[in-house]
Amino acid sequence: MLRAMALADEFRQMLSELPPDWPSADLALTVADPAKAARAAALLGPLAPGRSGATVRFSCSRTGTDNVVKLLAKLDRERIAGALELEATAVPAPVEEVEETLLAAAWTDELAALPADWSDLFAEVEFTSSDDLAPAALRLAPVNPLRDGERLAFRFRSARRYGYGAAEPVVRRCLERLDEARIPATVRIIHVFSDTNPVGTQGPVWFVGGRNV
């Protein structure tokens, strides 16, 4: 006569048949001797089982399988036999694919829309969380970022040839640093001048919010 498989071993076999990314499972143990059902439920107590007659039901997460094996082994040692059944397995939540636009790439798109002879521009980087302002300010320091009032945004100037404002490659590198830190934000050009030739000045200025920038 074949010996019944131990409950701990039966559980291990069930695990081997589950998909690798299963998050949780619901199981039912029908105890062969109904008189031992209460003892089985008590031994499985750490799993917060529910009992209906001779059937004890419990749940298991993918990270808690070792604990279930240990508890079922206690039933095996007390010779509590039964039929273990997998009632349900949770389906992993689908991973939503979000198209990510990196700031450096967005900056390239913004520049592509400018006249070929642009010389000076005024731009901003806007963030979604105030928690990102401090680390972003550090990474944007070379472009001399200016906080825009209460908005979650920094504004800066860039000059293509000479004058006041960060060089375009410097701006790009700062935006790349934000991308590397995975700081979500958007970048846009607010004002632009073309083919300026400053004489005795550092270039054009914009009057924004009651002050020159």
Q: Across residues 39-50, what is the average pLDDT?
A: 93
Closest CA to 147 of 202, 208, 72: 208
**Do residues 113 and 72 both lie within one domain?**
no
User: How high is the pLDDT of residue 184?
Assistant: 92
Q: Is the pLDDT of residue 179 over 90?
A: yes
Which phi and psi (to 5°) does residue 67 adopt?
-65, -40
pLDDT band at residue 142 using 50, 70 and 90 as cut-offs: very high
Q: Domains in the chain: how many in total? A: 2
Q: Say if 182 falls within a structural domain.
A: yes
Please indicate whether residue 136 or residue 198 has the higher confidence score (pLDDT). 136
Spatial separation of the C-alpha atoms in residues 81 and 212, rounded to whole Å:
83
185 and 113 in a common domain = yes
Judge whether 208 lies within some domain: no
Query: In this structure, is residue 205 part of a structural domain?
Result: no
pLDDT in tens, 58-95: 999 989 999 999 999 999 999 999 999 999 887 766 65
Inside any domain, residue 116: yes
Instruction: Answer yes or no: do 84 and 107 share one domain.
Output: no
Q: What is the pTM of this model?
A: 0.50
Cα 177–Cα 183–Cα 187 angle in degrees, nearest 5: 80
Residues 63, 141, single domain; the answer is no
Q: How far apart are CA 7 and CA 88, in angstroms?
A: 18
Task: Give the pLDDT of residue 99.
Answer: 47
121 and 144 part of one domain: yes
> Is the model more confident about 93 or about 99?
93
Residues 109 and 187 in one domain: yes
Write out pLDDT tens, residues 111-135.
999 988 888 899 999 999 999 999 9
pLDDT value for 101: 62
Q: How far is CA 78 from the centre of its chain?
A: 46
Work out the angle at residue 184's Cα, subtended by the Cα atoms of residues 166 and 149, and round it to the nearest 5 degrees. Answer: 60
* Residue 56 · residue 50 · CB < 8 Å: yes
Range of the domain at 85: 8-15+22-89
Average the pLDDT over 151-164 and give the result: 87
Of the pLDDT bands very low, low, confident and very high (cuts 50, 70, 90), residue 209 is low
Tens of pLDDT, residue by residue over 25-38, are 999 999 999 999 99
Q: Write the CATH number for 164.
A: 3.30.70.250
Look at residue 97 and tell me whether its pLDDT is greater than 80.
no
Does any domain span residue 58? yes
Cβ contacts of 53 within 8 Å, gap of 6 or more: 34, 37
CA dist., res. 171 & res. 124, Å (int): 11
Compute the chain's Rg from CA coordinates: 32
Q: Are residues 183 and 127 in the same domain?
A: yes
